[in-house]
């Protein structure tokens, strides 16, 4: 069964290239579209202060973080936990950029080389809700996910909320293509793919799927012909279907 890890970070600021660091990592595991309880939550000593704007968002003070281990001390456990999983991250370039920087400082390859893939849930949300606000808070409000406990941005809480949001956003595809116990896996666009055959993991065999094709009744056919006649008359007999008939 494919492991999905919903991941979030908190940082000292906005720019890893200017020395900002990861200070918190929160991950929750989804197995069969359900929370497994196998979470990972870590704080790190960044050896620098957070910017004032960042501190107002996450509330993690320098004094609190000074007693926590450095990222380097936890990197093996982090990579072991993430290895082979498909990550779901909201605004993935931000978190991936920071984690890649932390890994590069330790001479390690980037995050994508350790995982099966990465889905940006912000991209998914923009496709589902074009022109609307698609922050995590906005999505929680829109989809009925309770975020009342989100006073500060916390990596673990945000990952838990995002897991609920992701399940809501992909519920339609899951219901269409897999059963509750299936091994469907989400692609980068949020689509869900069933197993090639039921014997390989319980997914539906789509090659044998036959969808009903409704046919129009006589009244509907007559109404359709009337509309075509009006269009043909308005165009002076130059509609595409008329030209095709006469060709």
CA distances from 60 to 63, 93, 171, 180, 205 (A): 8, 22, 35, 39, 49
Q: Which of 153, 174, 193, 224 is catalytic?
A: 153
- Region of 110 on the Ramachandran plot (φ > 0 left; ψ -120 to 50 alpha; else beta): beta
Annotated active-site residue 153? The verdict is yes
DSSP states of 18-85 as a string?
Answer: GT--EEEEEEEEEETTEE-S--EEEE---SSPPPHHHHHHH---HHHHTTSPPHHHHHHHHHHHHTTP
Residue 21 tokens, joined:
């660091």
Taken as a whole, the chain contains a residue count of 247
Measure the CA–CA gap between 76 and 236, rounded to whole angstroms.
74
List, in order, residues 6 or more apart from 74 with CB less than 8 Å away: 42, 44
- Helix ranges (H only) for the chain are 52-58, 62-65, 71-82, 92-105, 121-128, 136-143, 155-169, 171-177, 218-234, 240-246
Q: Do the bridges between strand 22-31 and strand 4-11 make them parallel or antiparallel, or are there none, so unpaired?
A: antiparallel
List, in order, residues 6 or more apart from 48 with CB less than 8 Å away: 12, 19, 20, 21
Q: Which residues are catalytic?
A: 153
């Amino acid at each position: 069964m494919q492991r999905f890890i919903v991941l979030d970070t908190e940082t000292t600021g906005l720019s890893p290239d200017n020395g900002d660091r990861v200070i918190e990592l929160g991950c929750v595991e989804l197995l069969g579209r359900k929370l497994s309880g196998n979470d990972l939550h870590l704080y790190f000593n960044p050896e620098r202060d957070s910017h004032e704007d960042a501190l107002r968002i996450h509330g993690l003070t320098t004094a609190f973080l000074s007693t926590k281990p450095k990222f380097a001390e936890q990197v093996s456990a982090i990579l072991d936990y993430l290895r082979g999983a498909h990550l779901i991250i909201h605004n993935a370039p931000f978190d991936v950029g920071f984690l890649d920087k932390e890994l590069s400082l330790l001479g390690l390859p980037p995050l994508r080389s350790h995982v099966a893939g990465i889905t940006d849930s912000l991209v998914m949300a923009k496709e589902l809700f074009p022109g609307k606000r698609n922050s995590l808070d906005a999505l929680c409000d829109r989809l009925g996910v309770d975020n009342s406990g989100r006073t500060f941005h916390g990596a673990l809480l945000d990952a838990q909320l995002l897991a609920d949001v992701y399940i809501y956003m992909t519920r339609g595809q899951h219901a269409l293509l897999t059963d509750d116990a299936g091994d469907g896996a989400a692609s980068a666009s949020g689509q869900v793919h069933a197993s090639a055959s039921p014997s390989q993991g319980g997914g539906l065999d789509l090659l044998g799927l036959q969808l009903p094709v409704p046919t129009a009744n006589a009244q509907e056919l007559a109404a359709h012909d009337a509309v075509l006649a009006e269009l043909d008359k308005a165009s002076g007999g130059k509609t595409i279907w008329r030209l095709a008939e006469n060709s």
